[in-house]
Chains A and B, each alone.
Chain A
Amino acid sequence: MHPGTEALIQAVLDGEASERERRELEQLLESDPGARARFEELRELFDMLEGAQKLEPPPALASRVLANLPRRPAPLRRRFFDWLQVLSGPPPALRYAVAFSVGLALAIGVYELALHSDDPVDPLQAVGSLFADEQTLAPHATYEVPVALPWIHGSVRVGRLHGLAVLMFDLDSRPGVVLGLEGSGHGEVAGLLWFGDHGAQARIDDRGIWIPQGGRQRFALLLRDPEEILRLRFAPEADPGPGAAIQALEIRVPAAAADSRS
């Protein structure tokens, strides 16, 4: 069959043909048994596809989306730290060079500010700038996260920087995991920073840190004035039902004296 005839048949069945093309096909089908057979063949396939059931979206979809919308479409805090993720894109040599240059410039800026200004350095900004080089956080302890749960594994490093307790997570989880801080002893959440090239999906909401997308996630939680012992609670989803495998992990926050940048 002529390729033009095939294209014409499919355009008509797809509802993409003009009135003139439809009339042209009608005439063709009357005079060409081969074209008629092909048309019937394809119409049968189209009927099968069109007849396939379309699913109603579950009510949970809209409610889950709306419950998890961030405060505004593009949080300024995330934009500010976007460069941290950009650094993972280029080749390693260029990445390190950029990281070193940016880190050096920011470190000088922070140092100059501290020397020549009476305004206190914003610790969140300072920590963010130093994260170009992750080694600036000397970990005081590393915890495996957590035990015997099939839907999440990884580690948490904990240290101190600029008066903040810093929990650096390197996790591999399924989508929807919620990581909460139990009790009221965790102090004030100063920020959440993302690293690397793994989607950086974790975000803070009322329940804690929500990880909507599966796979590897690397982020740091910054806490101001936490108590010495923190209890992290890992839940498999936003609203775990009764009997859900929830695991808590106790973390000891190093004393303020151990701050590597205070």
Chain B
Amino acid sequence: MSKDDDVGLVRRCRNGDRSAFELLVRRYQGPVYNAAFRLLGNRDDALDVAQIAFLKAFEGLDRYDSRHRFFSWLYRIAVNESLNALRGKGRNQPLSGAEAAPDTEDPARRLAESQTGRILHHALDTMELEDRVILTLRHFVECSYRDIGEILDIPEKTVKSRLYSARQRLREQLQAGGN
């Protein structure tokens, strides 16, 4: 989705057009919800946090700087809300049973994907939050290096180095879990 489309919708929202915000919600609810789910590991918490993120975005539209992309700003709110929720709980939440069920029709493939998903989810859960955030943004929200840099307010070079390190640690976790 182009930046111009989003900026136009934001402008309409600021002028009191609530239907424009509905379009933004429907456009970005998937990534926002998935980001929250991957960070929190729980569907109910992800729903609450995604809801809060959208409401905070709506309330803060006056502060949105249209030189940046809207979704980067929105994802930043969602990540911060997820981190706040995790801090509020005082620990990383266990993810057992939280992995999404694959929707493939083939039972054998379903089982394999489900097991792989659980292993991956468990490995991610044992990682530091900073690693989980950057892996989530890249692989589950499909952000580019530039997007991640905007969301986390770090240079692209740092995005790359953090991603490399996080993947290395994820690989080590997966290997440790497989032994």
B69 near A: Cβ within 8 Å?
Answer: no
Fill in one digit per residue for B110-137: 1 if any A CB lies within 8 Å of its CB, else 0: 0001001100110000000000000100
Q: In the complex, A11→B161 CA distance in Å? A: 11
Mark out the residues of chain B between 134 and 179 whose CB falls within 8 Å of any chain A CB in the assembled complex. Answer: 135, 138-140, 144-145, 160, 163-164, 167, 170-171, 174
B54 near A: Cβ within 8 Å?
Answer: yes
Interface pair B29/A62, CB less than 8 Å apart: yes
Main secondary structure of the interface of B (DSSP, over half): helix
A213 near B: Cβ within 8 Å?
Answer: yes
A247 near B: Cβ within 8 Å?
Answer: no
B39 near A: Cβ within 8 Å?
Answer: no
Interface pair B33/A10, CB less than 8 Å apart: no
Q: Which residues of B contact A41 (CB under 8 A)?
A: 171
Choose from A51, A54, A57, A176 the contact partner of B113 (Cβ within 8 Å). Answer: A51
Interface pair B51/A73, CB less than 8 Å apart: no
Q: Which residues of B contact A154 (CB under 8 A)?
A: none
Q: In the complex, A6→B46 CA distance in Å? A: 34
B164 to chain A, nearest CB (A): 6
Contacts A16-B144, A53-B102, A65-B54 given; indicate if A58 touches B167 (C-beta within 8 A).
Answer: no
Choose from B52, B103, B139 the contact partner of A213 (Cβ within 8 Å). Answer: B52
Interface pair A45/B37, CB less than 8 Å apart: no
> Interface centre among A48, A55, A66, by most B CB within 10 Å?
A55
Interface pair A73/B59, CB less than 8 Å apart: yes
Q: Which residues of B contact A46 (CB under 8 A)?
A: 139
Interface pair A72/B16, CB less than 8 Å apart: yes
Interface pair A212/B34, CB less than 8 Å apart: no
A248 near B: Cβ within 8 Å?
Answer: no
Fill in one digit per residue for B8-32: 1 if any A CB lies within 8 Å of its CB, else 0: 0000011010100110011001101
Mark out the residues of chain A between 204 and 233 whose CB falls within 8 Å of any chain B CB in the assembled complex. Answer: 212-215
Contacts A66-B22, A70-B58, A74-B61 given; indicate if A52 touches B117 (C-beta within 8 A).
Answer: yes
Q: In the complex, A66→B26 CA distance in Å? A: 10
Q: Mark A residues whose CB is within 8 Å of B.
A: 6-7, 10-11, 14, 16, 41-42, 45-46, 48-58, 60-62, 64-66, 68-70, 72-74, 78, 175-176, 201, 212-215
Residue pairs across A and B with Cβ atoms less than 8 A apart, 12 shown, are A14-B145, A49-B120, A51-B116, A52-B140, A55-B37, A64-B51, A65-B25, A65-B54, A65-B55, A68-B55, A175-B52, A213-B52
